[in-house]
């Protein structure tokens, strides 16, 4: 039996429920339709996805007045571990596969589901929520802000000459399936611990990633080729239509692995372009004699963050400078509004507490969430008019929130 979690009002036939196991084919079919996909996830993928969803919570809305009581809305989350400034890993509520049928859109169903999801996140004392967004205008009202960005690049191999000479042995090899299974998840985990914003992929995610099922490519696109290095790997496929290499994962724990792997990727014979998604501060252009060999074709807001527990979340990360400020945080959606004193030490640690003291700065929770990983700076937000306060306080908050590298997530979920 499904479990009603809020009794529909007597006149409201739209019931918010937890789904039954047998509802999953319907859930994935309506998600595929809402996301304008050609077809739902195939069987194996569906089972893995359902298991992943089972680690968190799923809500659906059922239209009880229509024949067959169809599901018309879905929202789910599962735990997503994200590296925060300083190297700590926070378990976040990863919101995913949110959809409302076109027949029921703009009637408040998304808001209703997220109100329930938010209640669950608070009940489970999760410090942060994360998502990868289909559109940029939806989630700010719920306290999310874009927090980690990527550059979508195209490299022209014929123009990509490295400043340093190629080593006698490239230290990179193609990996077979056993080697992929043996080395790739461990290298990814090492990398994720070292990169702010990175998602440490739980073990249960890897079978689907490594299976590289055919629905992830079209008839002209190859399967994934894995290039393996002791301290990194790159997975790419070839689009035979235009002889392009499409890099899926690029993971380098050391600068040497970064150079060695890119040297192979830019040396692929018969390939006219290499496309990849890289950190906005990636050193690749600077390693080449002609930086224009790397063209930036786009910038994506790859990870959105919502601070759920201001005290806990701000204490999880480290800071660039000592300081003491009271932040007045506003929140139109949840229960996060209030004044918080943030005190940071020379060692980068912080203590945070609610306070009645006068505020130095005022900002909303989505703005604070965008600042959290360092992907958007305090001075950028202040220049955009989204932080209120004296210049000295803004300068101090800038120094406190300063990070040494741009956050990068590298995983879509
Ligand atoms: C994390 C993820 O899964 S991202 C994927 C999101 N899903 C998709 O993109 C699939 C296709 N789209 C959909 O299924 C739906 O249109 C949804 C889920 C985006 C919106 O669902 P709805 O039930 O129509 O939203 P709902 O009526 O609850 O609107 C809530 C608020 O968001 C706003 N809103 C909804 N969709 C959008 C949008 N695409 N762009 C901007 N604002 C939006 C509404 O105006 C409303 O604002 P308000 O409450 O502040 O007045």
The secondary structure of 109-161 as a DSSP string is HHHHHHHHHHHHHHHTT-SEEEE--SSTTSSGGGT-EEEEEEEEEEE-GGG--
In the DSSP assignment, the letter for residue 308 is S
Query: Is residue 35 lining ligand 1, measured as CB closer than 6 Å?
Result: yes
Q: Which of 78, 139, 142, 250 is catalytic?
A: 139
User: Which residue CA neighbors atom 1 of ligand 1 most closely?
Assistant: 96
- Cβ neighbours, 10 Å, residue 277: 21
Query: Is residue 409 lining ligand 1, measured as CB closer than 6 Å?
Result: no
Show which of 252, 268, 300 is a domain's final residue: 300
Helix (DSSP H) and strand (DSSP E) numbers for the chain: 11, 18
Looking at the structure, tell me whether residues 238 and 313 fall in a common domain: no
Q: How confident is the model at residue 48, as a pLDDT? A: 87
Looking at the structure, tell me whether residues 59 and 90 fall in a common domain: yes
| Residue 105: exposure state from Cβ atoms within 10 A (0-12, 13-18, ≥19) | middle
Question: How far, in Å, from the CA of 153 to the mean position of ligand 1?
Answer: 29
Q: How confident is the model at residue 6, as a pLDDT? A: 57
Looking at the structure, tell me whether residues 162 and 269 fall in a common domain: yes
Q: What is the token pair recorded at 15? A: 């019931």
Tell whether 373 is in a known binding site: no
Q: How confident is the model at residue 1, as a pLDDT? A: 41
Largest CA distance in the chain: 76
Pairing label, strands 57-63, 225-229? unpaired
Looking at the structure, tell me whether residues 125 and 189 fall in a common domain: no
SS3 of residue 67 by DSSP: coil
Residue 44 belongs to domain with CATH number: 3.40.630.30
Looking at the structure, tell me whether residues 250 and 327 fall in a common domain: no
The reply to whether 125 falls in a domain is: yes
- 413 among known catalytic residues: yes
Tell whether 172 is in a known binding site: no
Tell whether 100 is in a known binding site: yes
Looking at the structure, tell me whether residues 130 and 172 fall in a common domain: no
Closest CA to 205 of 230, 184, 226: 184
Show which of 300, 333, 365 is a domain's final residue: 300
Tell whether 80 is in a known binding site: no
Report how far residue 90's alpha carbon sits from residue 356's, in angstroms, rounded to the nearest whole number: 28
Looking at the structure, tell me whether residues 294 and 166 fall in a common domain: yes
Closest CA to 43 of 60, 57, 29: 29
Q: What are phi and psi of 236, to 5 degrees?
A: -140, 155
Among 73, 75, 106, name the best residue to mutate to test ligand 1's pocket (greatest count of ligand atoms within 8 A of Cβ).
106
Tell whether 410 is in a known binding site: no
Looking at the structure, tell me whether residues 90 and 168 fall in a common domain: no
Residue 375 belongs to domain with CATH number: 3.30.1050.10
Query: Is residue 98 lining ligand 1, measured as CB closer than 6 Å?
Result: yes
**How far is C-alpha 408 from the geometric centre of its chain's CA atoms?**
8
Report how far residue 76's alpha carbon sits from residue 22's, in angstroms, rounded to the nearest whole number: 16
Looking at the structure, tell me whether residues 115 and 171 fall in a common domain: no
Report how far residue 209's alpha carbon sits from residue 207's, in angstroms, rounded to the nearest whole number: 6
The reply to whether 238 falls in a domain is: yes
Looking at the structure, tell me whether residues 366 and 236 fall in a common domain: no
Show which of 71, 106, 137 is a domain's final residue: 137
Closest CA to 341 of 329, 353, 330, 331: 353
Query: Is residue 14 lining ligand 1, measured as CB closer than 6 Å?
Result: no
The reply to whether 128 falls in a domain is: yes
Contact (CB, 8 A) for 86 and 64: no
CA 294 to each of CA 139, 154, 156, 251, 262: distance values in angstroms, whole numbers, following the listed order: 32, 6, 7, 18, 12
User: Which residue CA neighbors atom 26 of ligand 1 most closely?
Assistant: 108
The reply to whether 408 falls in a domain is: no
Q: How confident is the model at residue 300, as a pLDDT? A: 97
Report how far residue 287's alpha carbon sits from residue 292's, in angstroms, rounded to the nearest whole number: 11
Split into its structural domains, the chain has a count of 3
Pairing label, strands 57-63, 350-354? unpaired
- What ipTM, to 2 d.p.? 0.97
User: Which residue CA neighbors atom 6 of ligand 1 most closely?
Assistant: 98
Query: Is residue 163 lining ligand 1, measured as CB closer than 6 Å?
Result: no
Q: What is the token pair recorded at 410? A: 């590298």
Looking at the structure, tell me whether residues 13 and 49 fall in a common domain: yes
Query: Is residue 182 lining ligand 1, measured as CB closer than 6 Å?
Result: no
| Residue 186, H or E segment | helix 177-194
**Domain of residue 292, residue span:** 150-300
Query: Is residue 97 lining ligand 1, measured as CB closer than 6 Å?
Result: yes
Closest CA to 353 of 344, 361, 365: 344
Q: Which residues contact 59 (CB under 8 A, 6 or more apart)?
A: 5, 16, 17, 18, 19, 74, 75, 76, 113, 116, 117
Q: What is the pLDDT along the chain (413 residues), one digit of tens a residue?
A: 445 555 555 578 999 999 999 999 999 999 999 999 988 888 888 888 899 999 999 999 999 999 999 999 999 999 999 999 999 999 999 999 999 999 999 999 999 999 999 999 999 999 999 999 999 999 999 999 999 999 999 999 999 999 999 988 889 999 999 999 999 999 999 999 999 999 999 999 999 899 888 888 888 999 999 999 999 999 999 999 999 999 999 999 999 999 999 999 999 999 999 999 999 999 999 999 999 999 999 999 999 999 999 999 999 999 999 999 999 999 999 999 999 999 999 999 999 999 999 999 999 999 999 999 999 999 999 999 999 999 999 999 999 999 999 999 999 99
Q: How confident is the model at residue 409, as a pLDDT? A: 98
Looking at the structure, tell me whether residues 261 and 352 fall in a common domain: no
């Amino acid at each position: 039996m499904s479990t009603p979690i809020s009794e529909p009002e007597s006149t409201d036939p739209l019931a918010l429920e937890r789904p039954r196991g047998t509802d999953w084919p319907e859930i994935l079919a309506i998600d595929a339709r809402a996301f304008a996909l050609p077809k739902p996830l195939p069987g194996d993928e569906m089972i893995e996805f359902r298991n992943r969803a089972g680690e968190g919570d799923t809500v659906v809305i059922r239209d009880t007045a229509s024949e067959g009581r169809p599901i018309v809305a879905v929202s789910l989350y599962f735990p997503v571990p994200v590296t925060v400034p300083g190297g700590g890993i926070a378990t976040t509520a990863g919101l995913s596969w949110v959809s409302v049928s076109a027949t029921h859109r703009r009637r408040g169903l998304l808001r209703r589901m997220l109100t329930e999801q938010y209640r669950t996140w608070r009940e489970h004392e999760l410090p942060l929520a994360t998502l990868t967004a289909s559109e940029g205008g939806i989630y700010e009202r719920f306290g999310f802000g874009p927090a980690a960005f990527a550059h979508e690049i195209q490299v022209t191999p014929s123009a990509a000459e490295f400043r340093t000479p190629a080593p006698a042995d490239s230290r990179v090899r193609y990996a077979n399936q056993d080697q992929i299974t043996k080395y790739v998840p461990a290298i990814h985990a090492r990398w994720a611990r070292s990169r702010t914003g990175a998602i440490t992929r739980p073990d249960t995610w890897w079978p689907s990633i490594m299976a590289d099922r055919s629905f992830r490519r079209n008839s002209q696109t190859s399967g994934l080729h894995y290039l393996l290095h002791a301290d990194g790997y790159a997975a790419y496929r070839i689009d035979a239509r235009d002889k392009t290499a499409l890099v899926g994962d690029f993971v380098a724990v050391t600068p040497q692995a970064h150079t060695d792997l890119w040297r192979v990727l830019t040396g692929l014979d018969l390939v006219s372009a290499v496309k990849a998604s890289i950190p906005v501060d990636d050193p690749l252009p600077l390693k080449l004699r002609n930086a224009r060999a790397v063209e930036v074709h786009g910038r994506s807001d790859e990870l959105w963050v919502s601070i759920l527990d201001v005290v806990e979340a701000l204490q999880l990360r480290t800071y660039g400078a000592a300081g003491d400020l009271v932040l007045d945080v506003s929140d139109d959606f949840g229960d996060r509004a209030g004044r918080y004193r943030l005190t940071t030490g020379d060692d980068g640690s912080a203590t945070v507490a609610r306070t009645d003291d006068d505020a130095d700065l005022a900002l909303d929770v989505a703005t604070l969430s965008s600042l959290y990983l360092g992907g958007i700076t305090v001075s950028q937000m202040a220049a955009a008019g989204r932080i209120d306060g004296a210049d000295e306080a803004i300068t101090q908050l800038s120094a406190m929130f300063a990070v040494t590298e741009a956050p990068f997530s590298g995983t879509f979920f």
